[in-house]
A and B are shown apart, each in its own frame.
Chain A
Amino acid sequence: MPEPERPEPPERYEPPAYDPLQPGKGEAIAPTGQGGPIDLALDEAESLEKPLGDDPTGPGPREKARSLWSDAWHQLRRNPVFVIASLVILFLVVISIWPQLIASGDPLQCELSKSQQGAEPGHPFGYDTQGCDVYTRTVYGARASITVGICATVGAALLGSALGGLAGFFGGWGDSLLSRVADIFFGIPVVLGGLVFLSVVTSTTVWPVVGFIVLLGWPQLARIARGSVITAKQNDYVQAARALGAGNGRMLLRHVAPNAVAPVIVVATIALGTYIALEATLSFLGVGLRPPTVSWGIDISNAASQIRNAPHMLLYPAGALSITVLAFIMLGDAVRDALDPKLR
């Protein structure tokens, strides 16, 4: 009894709902040009997007969202990585608001006679080439980094998730347009774009740098938000709400957004770390922040040429920078782990 083989409807391979490393439908290129950390962030978000829609028997959207977050919080409190990262970040935020708390000196007051001298009592990190106290400058450098990081992240996250969320929710030509525009930004290597864009700016404030990072950063967050909104939109209860006649605004705010926001938050947290690194890199290349702003990037750049004579000048700001970036990335990683139902 031969099985009647039907003319195969060639079983369509369904690619995963959203693979950030691969361009999706209508997207021309993968956003991998932005460097490793962002790839990490995108990858982490991917694993968050899939499982949320898996559970057709689960409770309604709001209960689900709430229990997801409260479970996550419960788990996070007991995760040492999360606790340490949060404490480091809290400390950084505090000293960037009140640097005087732990550094009594003035970062701009320098004694040339002490140029490149090593540590001495009261000046544990020694002096730089200008004779400025490295400890004071390292403490004050946090302010620029944290300001740039937070402002750029808030800007990019708001812009990106608004545009991406709306595009994913409504689809249509706006969605296509957004994908096209995002592609264009992914086509420009970040550091290069920064060099070109910022070399013509002469302002000494942090705002051009923030603006540039938002400009090149929003497309990533838009793609993440778009992907997770599309995933959330396909959930059965969202379809049910639509069938019951819920309006678009209500659907988006009450049913879709709470379930789509987790990947965006994770990516934004990790992105914050990478933005701080990007600011330092740009400052290092001489186009980011400019003196008299105190920035780790500038100090590292100045110290680099003197590394043979006075490695301490490089070590302390570089260490502070690395720890800051690490803290944000660890925080994002821990939040990801806590929000991922697969790992429970």
Chain B
Amino acid sequence: MGRYVIRRLLQMIPVFIGSTFLIFFMVYALGDPVAALFGDKAPDPATAARIRKDLYLDRPLWQQYLHYMGQIFQGDFGTAFNGQPVTELMASAFPVTLRLTLVAIFFEIVIGITLGVISGLRRGKSVDTSVLVLTLVVISVPTFVTGYLLQYLFGVKWGWVRPTVSPDAPLNELILPGIVLALVSLAYVTRLSRTSIAENVKADYVRTATAKGLPRHRVVTRHLLRNSLIPVVTFIGTDIGALMGGAIVTERIFNIHGVGYQLYQGILRNNSPTVVGFVTILVIVFLVANLLVDLLYAVLDPRIRYA
């Protein structure tokens, strides 16, 4: 087990370097960070050269990257466009996005798995068919469309919730954005648990459990669900990382000052440290989520644990 974790960690190092370098390359090599500092004014050549030297921008790209990563690992993410250290922005943005993500995951689990189990157990019935069609529709409608639609209906037309989220982003205001963020994954979780349940219902060990004279609810919960939900749980695990990175659209619609908002500002203002710093953290979150899910898989499925 220990060796497995170490091997996994080692595998992630090149992925981390590759992904961050790619982003670094796009931001630093394709854009011009110095020109951005001056906004619309033309920069004074001497000052520009000094800044370039300070920021290592006169070196080859790989040296810039190493320098940048070195600083990051010392906790220095650079300065954002408004003069704040990027780390301060992160300290305010990440908790908000994390809360939003957790709300989304909560709905994925509760609604997605429930619907999936119901339709999986009634495979071929009308409930099942309608759930399948519904999930396809939900998957097909892009998040920004459902976002505005739900915001308009619940926030504006019926006035059930505040259409936008206040800067502190309390949990109750994050319910609607959380649902919007979750929707596509939720539909997918529904389909995944449905398929998994429908396949496992016919498994030999479920028949054995019935032949043992276990009550139906015990057959379903202890034998069927325990096996069927393994892929679902692992999907939801990796989805945490994906949702945090994908929250940009939702945060924009509901004006949530989270990671997506700060990133969007960073990109608009061409502030490289903000963009690269946030993306680096997101990549780390994504990779760690992947690793944890791997371990979780091993915990849930003994066949993998001992392999």
Contacts and interface: CB of A to CB of B under 8 A. Distances in A.
Do A and B touch directly, given a CB cutoff of 8 Å in the complex? Answer: yes
Nearest to B12: A28
A93 interface: no
B22 A36 contact: no
* Residue with the greatest number of chain B CB neighbours at <10 A, chosen from A12, A22, A29, A200: A29
B184 interface: yes
Interface stretch (B61-69, B95-103, B166-174, B238-246): B238-246
Tell me the interface secondary structure of chain B in the complex.
Answer: helix
Contacts of A287: 267
A222 interface: no
B14 interface: yes
A248 interface: no
Interface stretch (B52-60, B132-140, B210-218, B221-229): B132-140
Given A13-B304, A29-B15, A183-B15, A188 B23 contact: yes
Contacts of B306: 10
A168 interface: no
Contact of B246 (A191, A196, A307, A308): A191
Nearest to B10: A28
Contacts of A35: 184-185, 242, 246
B93 to A, nearest CB: 14
Interface in A240-289: 273, 277, 280-281, 284-285, 287
A165 to B, nearest CB: 23
A49 interface: no
B51 interface: no
Contacts of A308: 152, 156
B129 to A, nearest CB: 11
B19 interface: yes
A181 B263 contact: no
A128 interface: no
* Residue with the greatest number of chain B CB neighbours at <10 A, chosen from A184, A196, A307: A196
Given A314-B148, A322-B141, A187 B15 contact: yes
A130 interface: no
A183 B27 CA distance: 20
A69 interface: no
Contact of A39 (B26, B235, B293): B235
A284 B249 contact: yes
A77 to B, nearest CB: 21
Question: Could you say which interface size class chain B belongs to?
Answer: 35 or more
B303 to A, nearest CB: 4
Contacts of B151: 307
Nearest to B143: A281
A291 interface: no
Given A43-B192, A188-B22, A326-B137, A28 B290 contact: yes
A285 B264 contact: yes
Interface residues of A, number: 61
Interface string A17-59: 0010111000011101111110110010001000000000000
Nearest to A195: B267
B188 interface: yes
B85 interface: no
A56 to B, nearest CB: 22
B16 to A, nearest CB: 7
Given A32-B235, A187-B286, A191-B245, A43 B184 contact: no
Contacts of B30: 197, 200-201
B275 A196 contact: yes
A107 B17 CA distance: 46
Nearest to A304: B148
A285 B142 contact: no
A201 B286 CA distance: 27
Interface string A309-334: 00100100010011001100110010
Contacts of B238: 29-30, 32-33
A37 B248 contact: no
B23 A329 contact: no
Contacts of A290: none
A33 B19 contact: no
Nearest to B151: A307
B287 A318 contact: no
B152 A311 contact: yes
Contacts of B241: 33
B35 to A, nearest CB: 11
Given A192-B245, A329-B136, A318 B149 contact: yes
A127 B179 CA distance: 31
Given A199-B267, A200-B31, A326-B136, A189 B231 contact: no
Contacts of B14: 28, 180, 183-184
B256 interface: no
Contacts of B270: 199
Contact of A22 (B27, B191, B239, B297): B297
A193 interface: yes
B200 interface: no
Interface string A181-217: 1011111111111011101110000000000000000
Given A188-B283, A281-B249, A318-B145, A39 B290 contact: no
Contacts of B188: 36-37, 39-40
B279 interface: yes
A300 B11 CA distance: 41
Interface in B250-286: 252-253, 263-264, 267-268, 270, 275, 279, 282-283, 286
B307 A12 contact: yes
A19 B235 CA distance: 12
The 3 A-B pairs with the shortest beta carbon distances in the complex, nearest first, are A189-B245, A184-B18, A187-B19
Interface of B: 8, 11-12, 14-16, 18-19, 22-23, 26-27, 30-31, 136-137, 139-145, 148-149, 151-152, 156, 184-185, 187-188, 191-192, 195, 231, 234-235, 238-239, 241-242, 245-246, 248-249, 252-253, 263-264, 267-268, 270, 275, 279, 282-283, 286-287, 290, 293-294, 297, 303-304, 306-307
